[in-house]
Amino acid sequence: MAILEVKGVNKRFGGLAALSDVNLSVQESTVHAIIGPNGAGKSTLLNCLVGKLMPDSGSVMFDNQSVLGRKPHEINQMGISRVFQTPEIFGDLTVLENIMIPCFARRDGAFRMHAFEQFANETELIDKSDAILSDVSMTDQRDAHAASLSRGDKRRLEMAMCLVQEPRLLLLDEPTAGMARADTNNTIDLLKEINGKRDITMVIIEHDMHVVFSLAERITVLAQGTPLVEDTPDNIKGNPKVQEAYLGESQN
Amino acid sequence: MLGLNNKDTSLFLVIIVLTILAPVLLNPFPTESTLAQFNAGYPDLMQKFVVFGIFAIGFNILFGLTGYLSFGHAAFLGVGSYSAVWIYKLFTYNVIPALILAVIVSGIFAVLIGYVSLRRSGIYFSILTLAFAQMSFALAYSVLSNPKFNLTNGETGLQIYANDLQLFHREGLPDFPHLFGLSMVSTYKLGVGPWEFQLNVAYYFCAIMMILAFYFAIRLFRSPFGMMLRAIKSNQQRLNYTGLNSRPYMLAAFVVSGMYAGLAGGLLAVTDPLAGAERMQWTASGEVVLMTILGGTGTLIGPVLGAGFIKYFENIFSKINDQVLHQWFTFLPDGIEDVLVAIVHPFIGKGWHLTLGILFMLVVIFLPGGLVEGGQRIARLLRRLSNRDKAADATNVSAE
Ligand SMILES: Nc1ncnc2c1ncn2[C@@H]1O[C@H](COP(=O)(O)OP(=O)(O)OP(=O)(O)O)[C@@H](O)[C@H]1O
Ligand SMILES: [Mg+2]
């Protein structure tokens, strides 16, 4: 069953057609990769899914409900979490607090006036956060200021913030960019495990083909705002059109 | 204790002890000494410390936690004062109903102003709050004060007249704000040798209010709600994409902060049953911004320190005049004395704002964390010095 169904989405920025007639169907419990050269419109597509941008036309259905016109927090509450291309974290807060906040969002909904409760008493949520911290092997940095983390660690933190929400759909915009090889491999393992064990559907945008081919079950190639092909990794590898559009362009 | 961790409990206890002992601690100079003019332990000034302390604590809940800079918080202060005085006029001089109404009405105002202003952030939010405050000022100063409908008594200010209704006022009750008969002006004068300490009812009443306000602020800072507000300051976008609606969180913070201001305004009318429009002017809004930044934005104790600092120096510097200066410099040759007095003259008396401006600049440039940061630096320095002493001792010992 398709958990995410994008149909005929168009988005223009002035004269630039960032997305033109994009169709995308993501099956539940799969890892679906979107690849394409810089400026192909990959991030723009994600922006249309999470309520950051409103497409000019088309429809976006998540679990048979339209997400268009909903506010970002409502879309998240439907079960969609996103890791951004440039890490978006709470730099002034500690790593643990960064993870606690999505925990509250998941448990209490979009707003709750918990002004007289004590943060330190939320042992259940703290345990949950500690567990996810050890999953992304960041236990050592638990009490560090998030702003002081390395770029790769910020990404892992952001991923943990999304994972702790146990979303139904996880959108990852270049999750391994700026990571060392070893960390990249750890991330691949983590994502594989999450997809298998926790049954989270993933849409992953990635330039690193090693990551793409290790994880993805379906791949959509986007070029100049239009989907070129959608197929299995094996078929994509041998597709001359992809070689030309994607690999050809990314080399210059 | 009381749901506070150890560090907060000690801070809270220190605040309680300091406010209780303030009439003594702030009066270090004997009454007859020439330094007595630097004493701060008299009721009028101490009341200002705690009342503006409350105002600044509340302002800091909004500005310190969320980073939203309201430039119109004095509107709530004024609304609080007017509400309290109306209770006096219509019903009773008892301060409890007056304060309750002050907090409720300022809360309602905060909901309305916050709902509109929070549609924007950053500088636009500040400008919107400023505009609302100036509108409230104009309403109070002229619009709501005409013969047919006189809510604010315009320029004169709202005060109590002999023919006011005062429905529940009885024979035997003080003709001044009181707490179930205990008049707010009563002062017990405690003489100890050459010192005289003034223990004033209104001061202690306001001090208890500040202690409560401080306690609530600590709880709020340490609650999940407080963390959400910090998250808004840090990255509001992220918060929204994390499934939290920042709007109601902001509005709640704004309203709580406005109610603190309303309580402070009500307390101003407890110490003096009068409400004037100038309390709502933009300069008053600016003052609480200065207090918070000067003391230490986002810290618990900072706003209280900042309020005390500004009110103390306002009082001291505005009291010093040329005559006093001549007295100080009298030991110098006449010519030099006159020159010195001429140089210092613009910074004292009415010119004390100049001094405040310079102090503010110095703090912002050298101590961006405010007085709290200053204190932390001194503590660190002392620790380092004592460590060095210990280290020196150790090497001496090993050398022997
Ligand atoms: N908010 C915006 N306003 C104007 N133009 C935009 C905006 N966002 C994206 N664009 C443009 O739309 C095109 C697609 O951008 P997008 O960020 O989606 O590309 P991408 O595929 O994610 O590229 P990359 O691999 O570099 O991240 C680019 O030409 C970009 O300059
Ligand atoms: Mg991108």
Instruction: Give the CATH number of the domain where residue A67 resides.
Output: 3.40.50.300
- Phi first, then psi: give them for residue A225, nearest 5 degrees: 80, 5
Determine which residue's CA is closest to atom 16 belonging to ligand 1.
A41
Residue A123 and residue A147 in one domain = yes
Q: Tell me: do A73 and A191 sit in the same domain.
A: yes
Would you state the structure tokens that stand for residue A86, as one six-digit string?
Answer: 């440039």
Residue with the bigger pLDDT between B145 and B209: it is: B209
Instruction: For B40-106, list the strands marked E by DSSP.
Output: none
Residues A139 and A171 in one domain: no
Partner residue facing A92 (CB), from B219, B233, B249? B233
Q: Which residues fall within 8 angstroms of residue B241, CB to CB, at 6 or more apart?
A: A50, A52, A72, A73, A76, A81, A82, A84, A88
- The answer on pLDDT for B350 being more than 60 is yes
- Predicted local confidence at residue A247, as pLDDT: 56
Chain mean pLDDT for chain A? 91
Judge whether A239 lies within some domain.
Answer: yes
Residues of chain B in contact with residue A104, where contact means CB-CB under 8 angstroms, are 224, 228, 244
Distance in angstroms (rounded) separating the CA atoms of residues A91 and A104: 18
Largest CA distance in chain B: 92
**Pairing status of strand B187-192 against strand A65-66:** unpaired
Kindly give the number of the ligand 1 atom that is closest to the alpha carbon of A19: 14
Average of per-residue pLDDT across B277-299: 94
Ligand 1, pocket-test mutation among A10, A11, A13, A220, most atoms within 8 A of CB: A13
Query: Is residue A104 one of the residues assigned to a domain?
Result: yes
Whether A69 and A180 share a structural domain = yes
As for the ipTM of the complex, it is 0.93
Domains, chain B, ranges and CATH? 6-300 (1.10.3470)
Please check the confidence at residue B396 and state whether its pLDDT lies above 70. Answer: no
- Answer whether residue A215 is part of any domain: yes
Give the domain-ending residue among A113, A147, A166: A166
Answer yes or no: is A89 within a domain. no
Based on the fold, state whether residues A155 and A53 are members of the same structural domain: no
State the pTM of this model. 0.93
Could you give the CA distance from residue B317 to residue B294 in angstroms, rounded to a whole number? 18
Residues A176 and A52 in one domain: yes
Higher pLDDT, A179 or B383: B383
Last residue of a domain, one of A113, A131, A166: A166
Whether A178 and A230 map to the same domain: the answer is yes
The pLDDT value given to residue B397: 61
Between B30-39, B59-68, B276-285, the lowest mean confidence (pLDDT) is in B30-39
pLDDT in tens, A134-171: 999 899 999 999 999 998 899 999 999 999 999 999 99
Q: Measured in Å, how far apart are chain A's first and last C-alpha atoms?
A: 39
Q: Give yes or no: residues A65 and A112 share one domain.
A: no
Residue A220 CA, ligand 1 centroid: distance in Å: 17
Contacts of A101 in chain B (CB under 8 A): 227-228, 231, 239, 242, 244
| pLDDT of B233 higher than 60 | yes
pLDDT, tens digit, for every residue of A79-107? 999 999 999 999 999 999 999 999 999 99
Ramachandran area for residue B245 (φ above 0: left; ψ -120 to 50: alpha; else beta) = beta
The residue among B319, B311, B263 whose CA lies nearest residue B284 is: B311
Nearest atom of ligand 1 to the alpha carbon of A37: 25
**pLDDT the model gives residue B231:** 97
Q: Is residue A85 part of a domain?
A: no
Q: Same domain, yes or no, for A64 and A179?
A: yes
Instruction: Please give the tally of structural domains in chain A.
Output: 2
The letter for the amino acid at B72 is G
Looking at per-residue pLDDT, the higher value among B62 and A247 belongs to B62
Same domain for A247 and A180, yes or no, is yes
pLDDT of residue A252: 39
Rg (CA), chain B: 23
Query: What's residue B398's pLDDT?
Result: 57
Task: Name B201's Cβ contacts closer than 8 Å, sequence gap at least 6.
Answer: B179, B182, B183, B184, B185, B186, B187
pLDDT in tens, chain A (252 residues): 799 999 999 999 998 999 999 999 999 999 999 999 999 999 999 999 999 999 999 999 999 999 999 999 999 999 999 999 999 999 999 999 999 999 999 999 999 999 889 888 899 999 999 999 999 989 999 999 999 999 889 999 999 999 999 999 999 999 988 788 888 998 999 898 888 888 899 999 998 999 999 999 999 999 999 999 999 998 888 888 777 766 555 443
The phi, psi pair for B98, rounded to 5°, reads -60, -45
Query: Quick one: A134 and A26 in the same domain?
Result: no
> Under a CB-based contact definition with an 8 Å cutoff, are residues A81 and A52 in contact?
no
Nearest-neighbour CA in chain A from B190: distance (Å): 40
Interatomic CA distance for residues B279 and A89, integer angstroms:
41
DSSP code for A7 = E
Token pair 């994509």 is at which residue?
A236
Closest CA to B40 of B296, B373, B324, B310: B310
CB–CB of B5 and A105 under 8 A?
A: no
Considering only B70-74, B115-119, B190-194, B209-213, which range has the smallest mean pLDDT?
B190-194
Q: Looking at the structure, do residues A177 and A55 belong to the same domain, yes or no?
A: yes
A6 sits in which H/E element: strand A2-13
Percentage, residues of chain A above pLDDT 90 = 74
**Residue ranges making up the domain that contains A123:** 94-166
By Cβ distance, the residue of A88, A92, A113 closest to B225 is: A113
Average pLDDT, chain B: 92
pLDDT at B67 over 70: yes
Would the pLDDT of B296 be above 80?
yes
Residue of A nearest to B215 (CA): A116
Look at residues A148, A166, A184 and tell me which one is the last residue of a structural domain.
A166
